[in-house]
Structure 1
Amino acid sequence: MAGVIPGPGKIAGGLNTADVVRSMSLDAGHAKTAEAVDDVATGTSTGIRQRTWGLSARVDPTVTFEEYVYWAEVEREIEHEDNKKFNAKRGPRNLTNIIKGRFSTGKSDEQKQAEQEQERRERERAAQSLDEDKRTDDKHMMHVAAPGSPNDAIRVTDEEWRTAARALRTASWGTIFYLVTTDILGWSSCPFVFATVGYGAGVALYIVFGLFAGFSGYAIWRVFLGLDSSRYPMLSFGDTYFRIYGSKARHFINVTQSVQQFFTVAVLILGNSTTIAQINKSQICFVAVMIIVMVVGMVVGSIRSLQRLGWLCNASVWLNIVSFIIIMYASNNNAIDYEVVTKSTLIKTIEPVKTFAGQPPAQYQQQATGFASQFNAVDSMVYAYSGALLFVAFLGEMRNPWDFWKGIFLAQTFICFVYLLFGAYVYSNFGQYSASNIGNVIQPYSLQTAGNVLSLLTGFIAVFLYFNIGMKTIYLEVFQEIFHFPPITTNKGKVMWYALGPVYWILAFIVAAAVPNLSGIVNFVGGLFGLNFTYTFPGLMFVGYLVQRGAALPGEGFDPVTGQTTRLDTGVKRWLRGYKKYFFLNTFTSVYVLCGLACSGMGTWAAVEGLIAVFGPGGTVATSFGCPVPV
């Protein structure tokens, strides 16, 4: 039976602030533009019936999948034309202007003045529109103006809204390369993976999981291009699930994402504390060091914007490169600090260095033995590739999202190369003593300290990134939406932000202090959360998207004039038709999802088994909330 899903007859008049975009923006200097976006977020374009759209409509339950698709297609066409104009205006690229672009402070004075004047005109026009609406009899609703009415002259046009909204999207694919690399790159556990599974499986698994991580990035990119628009922007991983599976799925993703990022902060607290303890030669009680890191995190984390995050990420990438070069040099030219390994792993004897092409024997395993040891390596590998949950936020910052594939391809290729090079090289030199906290295993102390200082800097950049985004995800998507906390830009919202931040850090400290084993907690987070967000959830999202796109029949779709969506059938028959439309891709992705779930279950089990073993007899000297350093 044919069905028509009606559009709204009125437009809600409550204009929300742009705190969501401001909180996720790469450059908080766009805050004024974000306010302008909100001021013009409602209005009527001649001949097109409008609903509320913009930031406040990104999770509007009355918007259909077909409407998201319609406006996304329009958006992509306009972006394509805008990008051609941008490239023509910028001129050909060469090494000189690329370097100047990376180190320039931004736009010329003339450009800034012109943009400020344009912004002022848009805000004045929006204010006129609001004043006109306030004079209507209905103080709570904004009615759609009929085409050709006197109000058309003062209402904000679709082009003005889009100009204001697009001003928030400025990131290039080069910026995405640095963001993705900073988000994902975690090479320190690579030698541990090789020490656990050997050369053959190590190389094969890093390549295979790297390709799968690339496929997940491709899936997220396809879904974003198909559903995002200036009218209905997507800003977080949960937004994709909302548009495909509904509000309950979005809440599940947001809560799970918040928990994962919370555990990631706990991992970073433990890692940074271990580094500091190694630098000061364990002269301070380890719990006291973690408290210091927690307090520093509270202070730094109180900053609510991510201004100049691109520069921080850029610096973090190069600091990472210098750090692992130091470790590679030290591993080839200096002895091993065996005490670090014997204190934190199951290996207690000092023997000649041994390497293996296949799985090393049980006496050379650091975290667990047998089948569990292999999945501990998989967990570490997955954790090293995790980061896909931020891809939607990165895409939402791009001037031309079509170019995302360039950034993700280069980033994933670079990351895989670094993992293979670093892991195999250090394992060749350190063999079974290639612990996950590899920076603490090298000698002499001067090189160890240099590497640890660099690691500490990149670690705190990562802490800032994950706490800031993780806390905002919790506040915006959980506390504000579910528990109706005040917006983060209001005075009450700021108070709640500053109050909840320390609670977040204290809880993360408790987790880190209770389980002071870096490999164990990394494996647990990787198995339970990282694997699902990197492989399972993107695949499940992609299948749902392809099924809904494939189910469309001729004559179906969204009508922008009437605001109605037409569907000719519903139910299982429709979804089977959609599945068959992209049968091979849907089948591959479905198997991909099932494999991800299976690996997650086995990986989580292996991580728990590893923690039981390492904290049992003959394991680590570290204790929960104790003074011994777990290195």
Structure 2
Amino acid sequence: MSDIKAIRSAASAVVSENGRVLEKFANQDRKDYYHISLEEMVYEAKLQRELEKSEDWGEAAPSVPMLELIRVKFFGKSPRSSGSVSNSNSADVVVDTKQDSSEGDYDLVSEPLNKSLENANRMVRTASWGSVFYLITTDILGPTSAPYAVAQLGYVPGSLIYLLFGMAAAYTGYLLWDQFLKLDSQKYPLQSFGDVVGRIYGKYTRYGVDCLQIIQLLFNVAVIILGNGQGLSEVTKGKGCYTVLILVWAILGMIVGQIKSLQKFGFLANLAIWMNVFVIIATMACVSNELPDYTAAGMTAAPVVTQAVISGAGSTSFQNQLSACMNIVYAYGGAMVFIEFMSEMKRPRDFIKGMACAQLFIFTCYLLFGLIVYHYQGQFVVNPANQGISHYGWQTATNIISLLSAIIAGGLYGNVGIKVFYTSFIQKIMNAPDLHTKKGRVVWTILVILYWGLAFVVASAIPEFSYLTSLVGSVCILQFTYTFPPIMQFGLDLQIAAMQGDGPYDPVNKVANRVDSWKNLSRWVRAYKVNWLRNTFHIMFFLASLATAGLGIYTSGEEFASSFADGVTTSFTCVSPVA
């Protein structure tokens, strides 16, 4: 029992420094994973899953209550250490944070440092499936585009597509869960979406996924800047240059983005969640008692018309419907962080319960909000929905609250995007300093300004909110949620199936006794035949998702070309589209 207390004390020491030691350890080890055989990773993962089933695992890593997890993740507090841990016990385990960076291929098993950090990593894995339900819900929930999607599709197609995309997202979430269970262990922990891709397809594929993640986060920030500029234009009743109003939020983002630690965003992020909930409830209450805002919708006053099925006649209507489908993709765009959530769970096997409940809850909220607002506003629905409230007081109130919550979200997206770009590329290519150093602080400041400046250019160049969200959904979000998981599963299943024809794995000497290599056709045929139906389904799923993404990108391009050709909107314009 004293050993457990000592490990807890060591883990608390590591966590209390904002996870710098564990983060450094993970970054150093990640490059070494590419030199370790998949046989060893799968072997260690099986041992890990068996260990998690034991009672001892529960005693050594007790579940943390949901309120405690919220306290740590959203309020930026350090985890509470066990009151029974004394300082004398902490001396039993020494965590040596020194590491010679010149030794890239050090032995992960024999190093005392690694063993101590494995124990520390074990201690910070404390989330339960109930906590994961809360985290997934708060990460994805934000259905302000749902009424626009329903308005472009109609009651029946809108509901069915929300259901279809929801079921597909639940399945791909299951695939990511399966991949995590087969590859993750305390010795070789998974910590991000890119980690899984890297272990299945290698480091170069992982770099491509990291690039796409950076692009998605950049465009997410651009969407927030554009939406905030649109909301501020409504508040000022169209006074002032529209591009300048967008620039205001880019500058504010540069200031907020100077917050380097995610923990310091904790309280603001939690507050932003409840701001969004208020906006959703206020929007439904207002639209049910007020006429639509015809000016914001860009239409003349007329009776509200709703349809069970939109005909889709004409290319423009078809493009709008595809754009609506890409907006629906936004509803299930949280798969990119599922691996992060699983990496913090005491028993990752329970993740599937939390994810299933969260997806069902999100589907219900999005669909109800979309149907209710569409019922009362029909063809006059504005995207985002709260900007279609006709009562100026409530419209202003919801806009201001949305502006504040959105800039917080933009700060979070920018923070993660800059860190991924910096650690994945700048540090490796240019040997840049660590962000925790004084030089790193200067580099961070410059990157934040450049990042938000680039997001401003994107937002001002494409001043159409629905089209921009459609583009982000088709280029980025759809890939992480629907395209990548099935092809990742295909690659992992193929490699594991091929092992069945090899000699037994030697865990002592870490020798994989393969009878052939992937250069031989025999290995490909043997691997595919083991579960050919499942493999074929995943290939078809991947191709269908890729085709959908391509169609969405094409449609977004056509919408942009049409709007610019018709003079509906121009880049860097002073004319507001909603005021």
Shorter-chain TM-score bucket reads 0.7 to 0.9
Equivalent residue for 2:551? 602
Matched, 1:573 2:545: no
Which residue does the alignment assign to 1:498? 445
Pick closer, same or farther for the CA change 1:411–1:110 going to 2, 3 Å: closer
Contact 2:61–2:346 (Cα < 8 Å) also in 1: no
1:17 is aligned to none
Counterpart in 2 of 1:350? Answer: 301
Kindly indicate whether the alpha-carbon contact (under 8 Å) linking 1:193 and 1:380 is maintained by their aligned counterparts in 2: yes
Report the Cα offset of residue 601 of structure 1.
0.8
Q: Find the aligned partners of 1:422 and 1:276 in 2 and give their Cα distance.
A: 23
Greater displacement, 303-312 / 65-74: 303-312
Cα distance in structure 1, aligned partners of 2:385 and 2:457: 24
Offset from partner CA, 1:410-458 (integer Å, 9 cap, x none): 2211111011101111111111111212211112112212222332233
**Which residue in the other structure is 2:3 paired with?**
none
- Give the direction of change, closer, same or farther, for the CA distance of 1:141–1:579 in structure 2 (3 Å limit): closer
The residue number in structure 2 matching 1:286 is 242
Identity of aligned residues (%): 36
2:230 paired residue among 267, 271, 274: 274
Match of residue 533 from structure 2: 584
The CA deviation at 1:580 is: 2.5
Does structure 1 residue 453 correspond to structure 2 residue 400? Answer: yes
Which shifted more, 323-332 or 227-236?
Answer: 227-236
- Tell me whether 276-285 or 298-307 shows the greater mean CA deviation: 276-285
Q: Deviation per CA, 1:289-341, whole angstroms, max 9, x where unpaired?
A: 22221122112212222116665554444332221111111111101110011
Q: Distance in 2 between matches of 1:144 and 1:531?
A: 39
Aligned residue number for residue 337 of structure 1: 293
Q: What's the RMSD between the two structures over aligned residues?
A: 3.3
Q: 1:227 — aligned with what?
A: 183
Q: 1:480 aligns with which of 427, 442, 465?
A: 427
Correspondent of 1:389 among 329, 336, 339: 336
Residue in 1 that maps onto 2:4: none
**1:236 correspondence with 2:192:** yes
Amino acid at match of 2:15: H
Task: Please name the residue that 1:626 is paired with.
Answer: 573
After TM superposition, give the deviation of residue 89 of structure 1 in Å.
Answer: 6.1
| Partners of 2:18 and 2:415 in 1: CA distance | 21
Deviations 1:168-207 (A, max 9, x none): 4343333333332233223111111111111111010000
CA distance in 2, matches of 1:37, 1:122: 16
* Structure 2 counterpart of 1:351, one-letter code: A
2:28 is aligned, of 46, 50, 56, to 56
Structure 2 counterparts to residues 113-192 of structure 1, below 5 A: 114=85, 121-123=92-94, 126=96, 156=112, 160-192=116-148
Give the unaligned 5+ runs of structure 2. Answer: 1-11
Sort the Cα spacing of 1:242 and 1:115 in 2 relative to 1 into closer, same or farther, 3 A. Answer: farther
Query: What amino acid does structure 1 have at the position aligned with 2:85?
Result: A
Q: Which residue identity is paired with 2:566?
A: P
Is the contact between residue 551 and residue 574 of structure 1 (CA under 8 Å) also seen in structure 2?
A: yes
After superposition, give the CA deviation of every residue in 1:150-169 in whole Å (9 maximum; x if it has no partner). Answer: xx9xx728753321222343
1:69 and 2:42 are equivalent in the alignment: yes
User: Is 480-489 or 441-450 further displaced after alignment?
Assistant: 480-489
Distance 1:289 1:597, change over 3 A: same
**2:127 alignment partner, SS class:** coil
The aligned amino acid for 1:416 is F
Stretch of structure 1 that moved more, 368-377 or 237-246: 368-377
The whole-number CA distance in structure 1 between the counterparts of 2:267 and 2:567 is 45
Residues 66 and 557, structure 1, Cα contact 8 Å, conserved in 2: no
Are the aligned partners of 2:312 and 2:318 in contact in 1 as well (CA < 8 Å)?
A: no
| TM-score normalised by the chain length of structure 2 | 0.88
Cα distance in 1 between the residues matched to 2:43 and 2:566: 62
Distance change >3 Å, CA 463–CA 562, structure 1 → 2: same
Choose the corresponding residue for 1:419, options 362, 366, 370.
366
**Distance (Å, rounded) in 2 between the aligned partners of 1:447 and 1:308:** 31
Contact in 2 for aligned 1:536/1:596 (Cα 8 Å)? yes
Q: Is the 8 A contact 1:274 1:629 kept in 2?
A: yes
The one-letter amino acid of 2:47's match is V
Quick check: 187-196 or 475-484, which moved more?
Answer: 475-484
Q: Distance in 2 between matches of 1:449 and 1:593?
A: 43
Q: Find the residue that maps to 1:630 and give its secondary structure.
A: coil
Shift in Å at residue 577 of structure 1?
2.3
- 1:542 equivalent to 2:489? Answer yes
TM-score normalized by the length of structure 1: 0.81
Which stretch of the first structure deviates more once superposed, 155-164 or 604-613?
155-164
Aligned to 1:18: none
Distance 1:90 1:522, change over 3 A: closer
Aligned to 1:3: none
